[in-house]
A and B are shown apart, each in its own frame.
Chain A
Amino acid sequence: MISLNKDSKRAKSAGNAAVGLGGGVDEEFRGAVPGRSLALSTPKEFFRHYTVVLALIVTIVVFGILRPQTFLALSDVKTILTGQSALFALALTLTVALGAGEIDLSVGGALGFSSVLIAYLSAVRHISVPLSLAISLLVMLAVAAINSFLIVRIQVNGLIATLAMGTVLDGLSQAISNSSTIGNIPSRILKIMQGRFLGVGMPFWYAVLVGLIIWYVLHHMQSGRFLYFTGEGREAARLAGIRVNRIRTISLFVSALGAWFAGFILVGQTGAAQAGTGDPYLLPAYAATFLGAATIKPGRFNPVGTFVAVLLLAAGTTGLQLFGLTDWVTNVFDGAILIVAIGLATLVGR
């Protein structure tokens, strides 16, 4: 309830400390104000802000030296960027939910469900592409509505609620797809997702666009500031007159929209859909967001950090695969990175 200070002894004990306060205020103060440069002035601070960027550079250099022909080949870079588009879209939108203090574990299941649903509606049911997309979008919004009703309104544990929701969506994906692969995706969908710009697949550019919008809102608009305050001090934010419940709800809608879009990307790129394809994205998405929170703006989930972190994940797994280490490497690498990321995020956030 209401917390109160029980003693006024401070008046006595603090008498001395106060004496030194009066003078010297202005001098200290003038040097301090252009603070942004101060934050990066020492090597330690520089390192604190750019650990992940440096790790990315080191990874590229090391693999570049070890496997110069293949790793640095430009076409490979383009392939990697294109191939990671779904992860970019998912991780960037997840950054919004985590920034608002909400954990959404249903995004893996939601991604898979979205791709299966789009494929089912357009290829099996032969519904027109725009209508298929619209229906699947509405279904995903309904999922977000259920998530936020449970978490924000009823105040259940979001971790468990979204974990369960993800499993429900996985099951529904199996039901719709009859547990088999849906092919024959309409060419209109393939066209949207298989075009190229500067040699890199369009989905990557869409994800970049999503990232730019998120960056703009989170870092340069009042709503973004409100979102971070909600995530980092919900009660303080509420008392400052911020509509915290609205922000939390919106953030869960953003992560669901991200999952829908990533699912859309996946169908378009692969030309097929299958239940369970979303799950392998869950962990890398979290690894990327947490790793991102350890860089650029340390201690805070931020889209630029997330973007760099996805690049690091991609460079790392690709490099390891070039050594002939296959599938299991990706799992070990993603898992290990998530552990490193949360450790790093905790340390630099202090």
Chain B
Amino acid sequence: MTTLALSVEDVTKTFGGTAALKNVSLNVELGQVHALLGHNGSGKSTLIKVISGYHRPDSGRVEVNGHEVRYPTTALSLKAYGVSFMHQDIGLVPTLSVLENLRVGRLETGALRHVRWGMERKTVAKLLSSFALEISPDTPVSRLSSTERSLVGVVRAFQDVSGRDSSGEEGGLVILDEPTAALPEEEKKRLFKVIKEVAARGVGVLLVTHHLEEPLQFADRVSVLRDGELVESGDIKGHSYESLAELVVGHSVEMSKKTGAREFGDADEAIVVKDLSGVVLNKVSFSVKVGEILGLTGLMGAGHAELPFLLYGAERPESGSVSVFGKPYTPDPVRARSIGLAFVSGDRIRAGGVLTASFSENVTLPVLHTMIGRLGWLPSGKEESVVNSILRQFRIRLTSPHLPFSTLSGGSQQKALIGRWIGSGPKVMLLQEPTAGVDIGASQDIIAMLREFAGSGGTVIFSSEQYEDVASLSDRVLVFRGGGIAAALSGAEVTPENILASSYGRLEASMSASH
């Protein structure tokens, strides 16, 4: 009898009339690494959420290891079926040891429920060596390299499924969601070598990834989702980077044209960046003109998201130089403000608004200094009029501006955070993912806000992986890969299709020809 690790049959899932998955069928066999490809919005995440029981499919069925998944399901019952996940953020506790991280919740206990540490240590040492990991079980996770952490995450995911042997069941399914997001090239190879070896012992692996070279090197089979449809599911043999890119991007790579492009031929340079390096970015150089909207994009971890951070000085650049309006500038938030740079972080919860402070306090923060009266007194009337004008101008809906910021919807929060900076009259707006996690109405409002800001002479630099928004907002787009600029699109070239194709390295040749 051959049981499949995963069998998805004819699954359809719609959200408010839009089909996120259309009749998707997909099998993962035991002992194989099966890669799942697809760009943002292709339905990849929805499929994973259906398998993990988070979304109930409208029709179709999902079986793992021969057990049908019944909705609503729980993490516990999935675990009993032999399914385990490794998410991008891995979820290890840095202060605890490798042993504790691996074994918490399943520690062997003896009389009086004492933990048999000696036995545990042996078990974990054996487990680690079977994954070719040479670390002591007692090492705190905080001392591990990022690769070792990923590997410990993988070990943890695999031990859950292989530990089921005692119950007489065989096999299992491990779902790895972008396990390499933070790893350098050499280390990825090491990780995948281990994954492949362990899978070969009889576990099915579903590898969700953006990176096309990974399935080519390590997967046995590959499936590609595009706009909710499965456009390919088969053997990796016979595929090339080009054929996979074509499947993911979904059109032959001829350039499409954007209408109504703006030109900035003779405008002054607002910001010039030379050889800037950070955690991911490696010697990046480019410049932006006054009034221009520059979009930075790429696949996750390509380096684009780091740039607004570095330019604003939220993080220290490793090296390189930046000049703003012709003057050299060392990034630092306090100085940034004084020379007219404003920054809206992609991390709205931690680094955006202060959730416990009121809406009014949050939006007036950047302009408080303009309303200081005698003896430093802030007149509340002036504050109210600033709040009112921001509410009107950006069409934000709320019950009272004196309620905590946390009571607003994500879209209203984002509009308020962008609006408060625009209202403070900056020369350059730096943004990360300005339209992520907000509803479509708000994201259109945000695009309109930034357009208007640029129309009145402001410069915008933003990073985003929402390639459709990047296309509709940007005058020029830099596409990043592996910490460097892989392609530059400008004028009529700025279309969603071209951005997507360049992210996968499919337009490099034609681009360099056109420049």
Most buried by B among A28, A35, A223: A35
CB distance from B412 to the nearest CB of A (A): 10
Contact among B88, B346, B366 for A240, CB-based, below 8 A: B366
A-B interface, 4 closest residue pairs, ranked by CB to CB distance from nearest = A18-B441, A5-B436, A233-B354, A14-B439
Q: List 30 A-B contacts (CB under 8 A).
A: A2-B306, A3-B350, A4-B305, A6-B40, A6-B300, A9-B15, A10-B436, A10-B438, A11-B41, A11-B440, A11-B443, A11-B466, A12-B16, A15-B439, A29-B397, A32-B398, A33-B388, A33-B391, A33-B401, A35-B360, A38-B399, A38-B402, A220-B378, A221-B376, A225-B365, A225-B368, A233-B355, A236-B354, A238-B333, A241-B337
A216 and B45 CA atoms in complex are apart in Å by: 52
Report A-chain residues with C-beta under 8 Å of the C-beta of B309. Answer: 2
Most buried by B among A1, A7, A15, A25: A7
A243 and B352 CA atoms in complex are apart in Å by: 16
Q: Does B437 contact A (CB under 8 A)?
A: yes
Chain A's closest residue to B372 (CB) is: A222
Q: Given A220-B378, A225-B378, A29 and B391 touching (CB < 8 A)?
A: yes
Report B-chain residues with C-beta under 8 Å of the C-beta of A7. Answer: 40-41, 45
Are A240 and B402 within 8 A (Cβ)?
A: no
Binary B-proximity of A29-52 (CB < 8 A = 1, otherwise 0): 100110110110000000000000
Are B465 and A3 within 8 A (Cβ)?
A: no
Q: Does A343 contact B (CB under 8 A)?
A: no
CB distance from B14 to the nearest CB of A (A): 9
Contact among B350, B360, B366, B404 for A235, CB-based, below 8 A: B350
CB distance from B256 to the nearest CB of A (A): 19
Q: Given A6-B45, A240-B365, A241-B334, A18 and B439 touching (CB < 8 A)?
A: yes
Q: Does B446 contact A (CB under 8 A)?
A: no
Contact among A15, A217, A222 for B18, CB-based, below 8 A: A15
Q: Does A237 contact B (CB under 8 A)?
A: yes
Are B314 and A9 within 8 A (Cβ)?
A: no
Binary B-proximity of A215-245 (CB < 8 A = 1, otherwise 0): 0110011110100110011011111111100
Binary B-proximity of A279-306 (CB < 8 A = 1, otherwise 0): 0000000000000000000011000000
Chain A residues 306-350 with CB under 8 Å of chain B are: 349
Are B440 and A33 within 8 A (Cβ)?
A: no
Are A4 and B439 within 8 A (Cβ)?
A: no
CB distance from A129 to the nearest CB of B (A): 32
Q: Does B347 contact A (CB under 8 A)?
A: yes
Q: Does A155 contact B (CB under 8 A)?
A: no
Q: Does A198 contact B (CB under 8 A)?
A: no
Report A-chain residues with C-beta under 8 Å of the C-beta of B377. Answer: 216, 220-221
A222 and B368 CA atoms in complex are apart in Å by: 6
* Total interface residues in chain A, CB < 8 Å: 53
CB distance from B93 to the nearest CB of A (A): 18
CB distance from A14 to the nearest CB of B (A): 4
A35 and B279 CA atoms in complex are apart in Å by: 45
Most buried by B among A6, A13, A36, A223: A6
A7 and B210 CA atoms in complex are apart in Å by: 12
Q: Does A154 contact B (CB under 8 A)?
A: no
Binary A-proximity of B336-358 (CB < 8 A = 1, otherwise 0): 11100001011100111111110
Q: Given A4-B433, A14-B439, A32 and B400 touching (CB < 8 A)?
A: yes
A269 and B466 CA atoms in complex are apart in Å by: 68
Q: Given A4-B346, A233-B357, A239-B345, A10 and B17 touching (CB < 8 A)?
A: no
Q: Given A4-B433, A225-B378, A21 and B88 touching (CB < 8 A)?
A: no
A239 and B442 CA atoms in complex are apart in Å by: 23
Are B432 and A2 within 8 A (Cβ)?
A: yes
Contact among A15, A22, A28, A299 for B440, CB-based, below 8 A: A15
Contact among B336, B343, B397, B439 for A17, CB-based, below 8 A: B439
Q: Does A69 contact B (CB under 8 A)?
A: no
A6 and B118 CA atoms in complex are apart in Å by: 41
Are A222 and B399 within 8 A (Cβ)?
A: no
Chain A's closest residue to B44 (CB) is: A7
A28 and B433 CA atoms in complex are apart in Å by: 29
Report A-chain residues with C-beta under 8 Å of the C-beta of B40. Answer: 6-8
A321 and B366 CA atoms in complex are apart in Å by: 51
Report B-chain residues with C-beta under 8 Å of the C-beta of A11. Answer: 41, 440, 443, 466, 468
Extra inter-chain contacts (20) besides given A21-B441, A237-B354, A242-B334, CB under 8 Å: A4-B432, A4-B433, A11-B41, A15-B439, A15-B440, A22-B441, A32-B401, A33-B388, A222-B376, A225-B378, A232-B357, A233-B350, A233-B354, A233-B357, A236-B350, A238-B333, A239-B312, A240-B333, A241-B333, A241-B334
Report B-chain residues with C-beta under 8 Å of the C-beta of A12. Answer: 15-16, 18, 20, 41
Q: Does B46 contact A (CB under 8 A)?
A: yes
Chain B's closest residue to A7 (CB) is: B45
Q: Does B493 contact A (CB under 8 A)?
A: no
Are B334 and A9 within 8 A (Cβ)?
A: no
A299 and B41 CA atoms in complex are apart in Å by: 40
Binary B-proximity of A71-111 (CB < 8 A = 1, otherwise 0): 00000000000000000000000000000000000000000
Binary A-proximity of B399-423 (CB < 8 A = 1, otherwise 0): 1111110000000000000000000
Are A8 and B397 within 8 A (Cβ)?
A: no
Q: Does B369 contact A (CB under 8 A)?
A: yes
Report B-chain residues with C-beta under 8 Å of the C-beta of A225. Answer: 361, 365, 368, 378
Are B356 and A232 within 8 A (Cβ)?
A: yes
Report B-chain residues with C-beta under 8 Å of the C-beta of A222. Answer: 368-369, 372, 376, 378
Report B-chain residues with C-beta under 8 Å of the C-beta of A4. Answer: 300, 305, 346, 432-433, 436, 465
Chain A's closest residue to B332 (CB) is: A241
